[in-house]
Amino acid sequence: MRSEQQAGAEQRAMRRALDLAQSPGVPLGPNPRVGCVLLDDEGQVVAEGHHRGAGTPHAEAAALTEAGAAAAGTTAVVTLEPCNHTGRTGPCTEALIAAGVCRVVFAQPDPNPVAAGGERRLRDAGIEVDLGLLEREARAVNRAWTFALEHRRPFVTWKLATTLDGRSAAADGTSRWITSRASRVDTHRLRSRCDVVLVGTGTIEVDDPRLTVRDEYDEALAHQPLRAVMGLRDVAAGATVLDGAAETVLLRTRDPREALAELHARDRRHVFLEGGPTLAAAFLAAGLVDEVVAYVAPTFLGAGRSAVGDLGITTIGDALHLRVEDVTVLGSGEQTDVRLTLTPAHRGGPTEKRD
């Protein structure tokens, strides 16, 4: 039975580990963000560490290295179940056992079947294990990564910019700029948190976008998100998306599920969907949009391209309902927009149609 003092120390250590996991500069992508804190018998911090990206030491290994011989007899407080497999680095379970750690507290079980099994290995080695401390908070740190492993496809955020009457372009086709600079900067912030920016071939032909993270987020990124173009048509050799500023992949399919399967096979966990109304409608109709971020300008056009294509809905009773998660006003004065963050209302959030 752990004393209240020990339990309090472990909870503080877990909150610190969660902060470490989200250290600036830690890339998103195929690996989870993980933090680790080592505590002595008095609940004092001996060492701490966090994972800095694919190929670097895991959080537990970083903390053990910092602690050295002082790791013996400590409690390791970790945001994710220690891995039990050999990849680019060795198993964290074996490192903890070899260091003489006597107790491990972790927040979230590892959903990756390749890396799972850490809890059992530690118990078999005689190490006391406790799990579930601040699990909800830990899952939130790796929301897209966890979703991708549990659902075997990337988490999809659909971003759109629209007028009050639901137009994404004027009648003559012009669309720059519907929303304010503040909204465009915010879009780059969200792009930087994803590992794929996905559009259709139609968007490439009409807008010739760069699809990279720019503005003040340039220097913060070690790697740009993958640029993915979906569709059967060829992309012109001179298209900006092929300029080498970021990796680009052409997905030769019109099927959203096939596109996501290919991206998942490439270890991509979070898709930022920025395609036109036809592509957006395809993902929505397939039940493959998990989050919507809508930038709404206080503007009317009265005509022009709709923000989303035909969803096959003919009666109000079949309307696709969304739950509002956040409403934020961006910009100031006449350059003001509203950002809405929404999730599908059915089934309580991110969903997909399951076979």
Residues known to be catalytic: 60
Is 54 marked within a binding site?
no
Question: For residues 298 and 334, what is the distance between their CA atoms, to the nearest angstrom?
Answer: 9
Is 280 marked within a binding site?
yes
Nearest-CA neighbor of 32 among 146, 191, 162?
Answer: 146
Q: Tell me how far the alpha carbon of residue 279 is from its chain's centroid.
A: 21
Q: Residue 95: what are its φ and ψ, rounded to 5°? A: -65, -40
Question: For residues 192 and 186, what is the distance between their CA atoms, to the nearest angstrom?
Answer: 10
Is 282 marked within a binding site?
yes
Is 352 marked within a binding site?
no
Longest pairwise C-alpha distance within the chain: 71
User: Which three-class secondary structure state does DSSP give residue 235?
Assistant: coil
Question: For residues 65 and 76, what is the distance between their CA atoms, to the nearest angstrom?
Answer: 13
Is 83 marked within a binding site?
yes
Is 226 marked within a binding site?
no
Is 58 marked within a binding site?
yes
- H-helix segments, the chain: 4-21, 59-67, 92-99, 118-124, 135-141, 143-151, 181-192, 201-207, 256-265, 277-285
Is 203 marked within a binding site?
yes
Is 145 marked within a binding site?
no
Q: For Cα atoms 195, 348, 148, give the angle at the middle one, nearest 5 degrees.
A: 25
Is 158 marked within a binding site?
no
Is 198 marked within a binding site?
no
Question: Could you tell me which residues are annotated as the binding site for Zn(2+)?
Answer: 58, 83, 92
Question: Could you tell me which residues are annotated as the binding site for NADP(+)?
Answer: 161, 177, 207, 276-282
Question: Could you tell me which residues are annotated as the binding site?
Answer: 58, 83, 92, 161, 175, 177, 191, 203, 207, 211, 214, 274, 276-282
Question: Could you tell me which residues are annotated as the binding site for substrate?
Answer: 175, 191, 203, 211, 214, 274
